[in-house]
Amino acid sequence: MGQLTSRKRASAICTALFLVGLAIILFIGNWWPGIMLAIGVPLALRQFLLGRHFDMCITLFVFGGVFVTEQFAISWEILLPILFVLAAIYILMREFQESKEHPEDIEDEDINHEIEESLEDQHTKRKKNND
């Protein structure tokens, strides 16, 4: 499943949701940890609308985890190491997943490098010809 809407529309929807979240926080008066939900939910929704479902799950886990940790007084000494390990696993998995899905990116980088080198060579030749 791909992108559900344009980046512009996704940003507009999420900005509106963020403002609603801020209004609820102002009404309730519970800034911390409520701000974590007011930031995390719109961010996760934006990622969902743009087709980045794995990123959405991670965002909900992190922001929701901080909210639950604070709301229910769970020790940070337990949560932080778990979050760091999960973040490391996520970064590694994402890197390997993206490299399998987009091998043409490596070819594009090589082509861009060749173009830059040829442009530099042309620039150097022009300088020599002008001198």
pLDDT in tens, the chain (131 residues): 678 888 899 999 999 999 999 999 999 988 888 899 999 999 999 999 998 888 888 888 888 888 888 888 888 888 778 878 887 888 888 788 766 655 555 566 667 777 777 777 777 777 777 76
Q: Where are the domains of the chain?
A: 1-74, 77-131
Are the C-beta atoms of 21 and 45 separated by less than 8 Å? no
Give the model's pLDDT for residue 114. 76
Give the model's pLDDT for residue 57. 86
Q: What DSSP state is assigned to residue 6?
A: -
Q: What is the pTM of this model?
A: 0.62
